[in-house]
Structure 1
Amino acid sequence: MNAAADKRWLYAVALLATYLQSVNLPLPNAALRLIQGSLSMTDDQAGWIFTAYLAASAITLPIAQWLAARFGLKRVYQLALLAFAIGLWLGTLASTPLEFIAARILQGLASGVLAPLSMAIALETLPAERRPAFAPKWTALVLFGIVSGPSIGGVICEYFDWRPMFYLSLPLLAYIFMVVTLLLGEKKADQRPPYDFFGFATFTLGMIGLQMCLDRGERLDWFDSAEIWIETLACVLGLYLFVVHRMTSKAHFISKALLRDRNFMLSTVMFFALGFVLLSTMALTSPMLDEILGYPPDTTGALTIPRGVGLVGAFLLMGRAPAWVDTRAFIAVGIALVVYANWLMLGYSPLMDWTPVAVTGFIQGVGLGILMPALSKAAFSTINPTLRPEASGLFNLMRVYGSTLGVAVVQLFFFNNTQAMHSALVSQLTPYRVALPTSLPALEGLNHLVTHQAAFVAVMGQFKILMLAMLVVSPLVLFLRKPAAAN
């Protein structure tokens, strides 16, 4: 096989690996009810299915390039493929929530390595003149994986079971591993590359402590639990050491030049808010359709398609946007569409059909599809070209942390608000107001109805949080400098 053909094969499997690591993040979304039932998983544990994957990928994402330079790109990539496959296989064998979450953590750790290294491999196969145009295509593929995952998982679950969702990726990973083994040459740095492990470790400790506190606080009754105290102290200590190290050290894994760039920092904050909305909406909508409104998994998954079409379609069309249009206008329009879509979601009703979900999902998808490339352009237009690799890593890391913290926050408020609304509704069920049933089955049915009503009201409250998250960052558009023309 000649060199050109080898590059084509490597390019194809790199894109396939990119798609697989992104599609497996939301794959269980439309099948939460089945997964919870088979594993005896509580509602609060269901949120860990997403946060475990995201938080784990955020740990390995910043060090993926260093690992490749230190130990060899091919070796690290092969180990990541193997770890990802083992994580998927262990997920199918899980019989308890803890086993399943552990499998998702392993998948996330491998995903954080696969994503940037797949991009690096694909770029190596392209001629230099085609590389600048590759990043938008790669991002579109990642987005396509995220938005198509629930529909694929829903169809498989409806006709088979939830475990075959993960089996589907295993032969594809074996194929990628074989092609990489045969065609990819080893490549690593001649000297051990430097890396600020202390800064990275303290930042990670702070963020993971915060994540664990949010995920576990409700179940353990917050500060009545020693575990929550430990996780809170870990968060505070980690972030404190990170800030001190950042202010006193000369070398840091986040360059001071990046922090001084106004466009980059403001765009990164807005990108964090975008991540907060991107997956949190999906984490709320699918359970609402599946568990509260009783839609089957395939329908639940299918109703994510309009959002995906709007997101990926708008993202690709933004690549053809006229260069003379001010990027700040696109950012403002994107934020406005996302806010409007979340405002429409506040009008959801238990009596509605699928149409409002499809329409609002499409509008929000278009807003997010406009916002992502516009923020990227604003962020990188004023960055020194030598800092772009570092800036790109931090920029995408903030989106990942925005997603994982967003899912944790909406899950937290969802359960709190459901309990509060349930208590409020039950307080109105007195013999003086309504004729209460006396049989146990009838009382159970009434409690089931009240619980569903409380849960639906709580979901509406979380859509309001997502709307407010975008509203809070919207004034930052006014402080952006007009991006320079692309180099």
Structure 2
Amino acid sequence: MLGSTLYATTLLIASTLLPQMQGAMSATQDEIAWVMTFNILTTAVVTPMTGWMVARFGRRNVMVWSLFAFSVMTLLCGAAESLEMLVLWRILQGGLGAPVIPLSQTILLDSFPKRQAGMVTSIFGMAVVIGPVIGPTVGSLLSELYSWRWAFYMVVPVGLACFIGLRLTLPKDAPTGRTALDWTGFLSLSLAIACVQLMLSRGQRLDWFESEEVVVEALVAALAFYVFIAHSLTSQAPFLNLRLLLDRNYALGLVLVAIYGMLNFTPMVLLPPLLQQHAGFPDSIIGEVIAARGVGASIGFFLAIFIGKVDPRIGLIGGFGVQVLSGLWLMSLDLNVDVATLMANSMLQGIAVGVIWVPLTLATFATIEARYLAEGTAVYHLLRNIGSSFFISLCVAEIVRATGTNYGRMVEMVSPFNEALSLPWVMGGWTMDSTAGLARIAKEINRQAAMIGYLNAFGLYTLASALAVPAILFVAGKARARNA
């Protein structure tokens, strides 16, 4: 539990530190973005290797030493003196720590009887969901009081304590004997994931398919994914066993967890820059808004303990339904929003996240054999991470596109030839008589154009929530899953 919380804490911790790190490293906005992009990429690439690593080295060794290496890399992230070294340590931090979360879930599910799976999954979900709330909240506070480095340093002592605890208590186990890594499957999947993420991260800046780089990344991703699918279906021992997708609940669970990943982190990434840059909120208030999501998630997981005892589809429909309501609420906000409204909406999102996690996990793994659990959970968390990173990239691209488009349209109206602007009750305190007056108008137009972009992103968030509901209707009920 503690290891999962620590790893989840660092997933989004850099999002609040990017402005400080950019200044400290004398980097451009594009350059500092690699600090997050490469960490997400490496996590996505290494997570599917968890099943092979457990088979090769044993569950205990992989869990213990992954956590130790993750703690050391986190220390080096805080001590980095150049952008190149910071990106390198973030790559190693994501890659070496990637097995921690899927292995934590596997160990917990194996350690308790099946009748307690709902309670265990609920408690584990708190680590996965509340960790990314703790990271930006406490990290931004420490960076404000000291420097961005302390946001990384705070993780290290807890990580080492967790390493010692696991080293002393985790039962020893022997490798299962399957030691050959399917390099064709691994490399093709890794290349496909990396190219798609790069395409989404850089597409808006490079004008999408007008750029040769984006075209090449799209073609390579499509070819690599084709090779991965063809090889996995014909190989005797594939990197990932695609035959698990014949299990209906597992296949639908992967679709739903990808949507869950889209919805989980997106508001926490989008709201801070909106509130800080355009609404004028201080960092401390933004931290309170994010913390309210953690409170809501705790309530949601508590409710999920009881909801998990009934048909999982009830909890899933209820949770995604609450997500739709929170999305519609976000779409009605403007730049004059008050803190109480933001905290209430954030808490509502947290409740939905907590309610969804337990029935989703129970329904997904209800009919999976224990020997496939490590591999199954690795793919499960891989799609959660991919859904999150891809959707965040799409939302950011839409915000940038809509801001530029709407700014261009609105500034056309600011002209001495616009008769409406000559009316005193239209202009109010704005003026076009000086450069300073025009600058103030331009700043306000940029704020409003950006708000339209954010509302479009919240619309995508709401649409994704609604699209999950039809898929839930095909999930097998509790009795059928037990008998399958």
TM class, shorter-chain normalised?
Answer: 0.7 to 0.9
User: How far apart, in 1, do the equivalents of 2:27 and 2:334 lie?
Assistant: 27
Match of 1:456 among 448, 451, 456: 451
Offset of residue 43 of structure 1: 5.4
Corresponding residue of 1:395: 380
Task: Give deviations 1:253-283, integer Å, cap 9, x for gaps.
Answer: 4434422222221222121111011111111
**Are the aligned partners of 1:307 and 1:362 in contact in 2 as well (CA < 8 Å)?**
yes
Query: Which amino acid letter does the alignment assign opposite residue 401 of structure 1?
Result: I
Q: Which of residues 43, 48, 51 is equivalent to 1:57?
A: 43
What SS is found at the alignment partner of 1:24?
helix
State the match for 2:275 in structure 1: 289
CA distance 1:96–1:289, change in 2 (3 Å): farther
Query: For residue 470 of structure 2, what is the aligned residue in structure 1?
Result: 475
- Distance in 2 of aligned mates of 1:42 and 1:265: 41
Deviations 1:161-209 (A, max 9, x none): 3221111122233434455567768754273534433223222221211
Matched length: 471
Specify the alignment match of 2:303 in structure 1.
317
Which shows bigger deviation, 69-78 or 261-270?
69-78
Equivalent of 1:171 in 157, 171, 185: 157
Which AA in structure 2 matches 1:274? Y
Counterpart residue number, 1:8: none
Deviation at 1:341, TM superposition (A): 0.4
Unpaired runs of at least 5, structure 2:
422-429
Distance change in 2, residues 1:42/1:427 (3 Å): farther
- Where does residue 331 of structure 2 map in the other structure? 346
**Displacement after TM superposition at 1:338 (Å):** 0.3
User: Do the aligned partners of 1:202 and 1:239 also contact (CA within 8 Å) in 2?
Assistant: yes
Is 2:52 the partner of 1:66?
A: yes
Counterpart amino acid of 2:221?
Answer: C
1:360 paired to 2:341: no
Counterpart amino acid of 1:208? Answer: A
CA separation of 1:115 and 1:379: change in aligned 2, threshold 3 A = closer
Distance 2:238 2:61 in 1: 27
User: Using the alignment, how far apart are the partners of 2:171 and 2:259 within structure 1?
Assistant: 39
- Following TM superposition, by how much is the alpha carbon of 1:38 offset from its aligned partner in structure 2, in angstroms? 4.1
CA distance in 1, matches of 2:203, 2:461: 21
Counterpart amino acid of residue 463 in structure 1: F
Report if the CA contact (8 A) 2:50-2:375 is conserved. no
1:256-295 equivalence runs, <5 A: 256-295=242-281
Residue among 295, 299, 307 paired with 2:293: 307
Output the CA distance in 2 between the equivalents of 1:371 and 1:180.
29
Q: Please report how far the alpha carbon of residue 49 of structure 1 lies from its aligned counterpart in structure 2 after TM superposition.
A: 4.8
What TM-score, normalized to structure 2? 0.86
Over 3 Å counting, the alpha-carbon distance change for 1:271 and 1:186 in structure 2 is: closer
1:121 to 1:399, Cα distance in 2 relative to 1, 3 A: closer
Tell me which moved more, 255-264 or 449-458.
255-264
Q: For 2:476, give the aligned amino acid.
A: R
State yes or no: 1:406 paired with 2:391: yes
Structure 2 Cα separation of the partners of residues 92 and 309 of structure 1: 28
- Deviation per CA, 1:239-260: give whole Å up to 9, x if none: 1111212333343344344222
Q: CA deviation at 1:97?
A: 5.5
1-side partners of 2:304 and 2:405: how far apart?
A: 43
Q: Using the alignment, how far apart are the partners of 2:106 and 2:318 within structure 1?
A: 32
Identity %: 28
**Stretch of structure 1 that moved more, 285-294 or 399-408:** 285-294
Q: Tell me, in whole angstroms, the C-alpha distance in 1 between the residues paired with 2:231 and 2:465.
A: 31
CA distance in 1, matches of 2:139, 2:459: 27
Aligned counterpart in structure 2 of residue 465 of structure 1, from 450, 460, 466 = 460
Instruction: Report the aligned-residue RMSD.
Output: 3.0
Output the amino acid matched with 2:262: F
Give the alignment partner of residue 236 of structure 1, picking from 204, 210, 222.
222
In structure 1, stretches of 5+ residues that fail to align are 1-14
Could you report, residue by residue, the CA deviation over 1:285-331 in whole angstroms, capped at 9, with x for unpaired residues?
121112222222221111112222222321232122373x3322221
Distance in 2, Cα, partners of 1:48 & 1:316: 37
Distance of 2:308 and 2:223 partners within structure 1 = 47
Query: 1:280–1:407: 8 Å Cα contact kept in structure 2?
Result: yes
**1:423 and 2:408 correspond:** yes
2: CA distance, partners of 1:329 / 1:73? 34
Matched to 1:444, the amino acid is A
**AA at the equivalent of 2:268:** M
Q: Distance in 1 between matches of 2:154 and 2:440?
A: 39
Q: Which one-letter code corresponds to 1:138 in the other structure?
A: F
2:126/2:354 contact within 8 Å kept: no
CA distance in 2, matches of 1:205, 1:217: 17
**Is 1:418–1:455's contact at 8 Å kept on the other side of the alignment?**
yes
Matches within 5 A, 1:112-261: 112-118=98-104, 132=117, 134-178=120-164, 188-189=174-175, 191-261=177-247
Look up the equivalent residue of 2:154 and give its one-letter code.
Answer: L
Which residue of 2 is the match for residue 19 of structure 1? 5
Conservation of the 8 A alpha-carbon contact between 2:106 and 2:373? no
CA displacement, residues 113-145 of structure 1 (integer Å, 9 cap, x when unaligned): 333445566778x57789855443222222221
Contact 1:381 1:484 in 2 (8 A): no
Amino acid at match of 2:448: Q
* Distance 1:48-1:368 versus aligned 2 partners, 3 A rule: farther
Q: How much has 1:392 moved relative to structure 2?
A: 2.4
Deviates more, 1:357-366 or 1:191-200: 191-200
CA distance in 1, matches of 2:72, 2:205: 29
Aligned AA (1:421): N
Match for 2:393: what amino acid? A
Alignment TM-score, normalising by the size of structure 1: 0.86
Residue 463 of structure 1 and its aligned partner are, at CA, apart by 0.5
Aligned-pair CA distance for 1:70? 2.3
Check whether the contact 1:156–1:164 (CA below 8 A) recurs between aligned residues: yes
C-alpha displacement of 1:78: 5.7
Separation in 1 of the partners of 2:453 and 2:135? 25
Counterpart of 2:361 (choices 358, 376, 384) is: 376
For residues 100 and 84 of structure 1, what CA distance do their matches in structure 2 show? 14
Between 1:333-342 and 1:452-461, the stretch displaced more is 452-461
SS at match of 2:398: helix
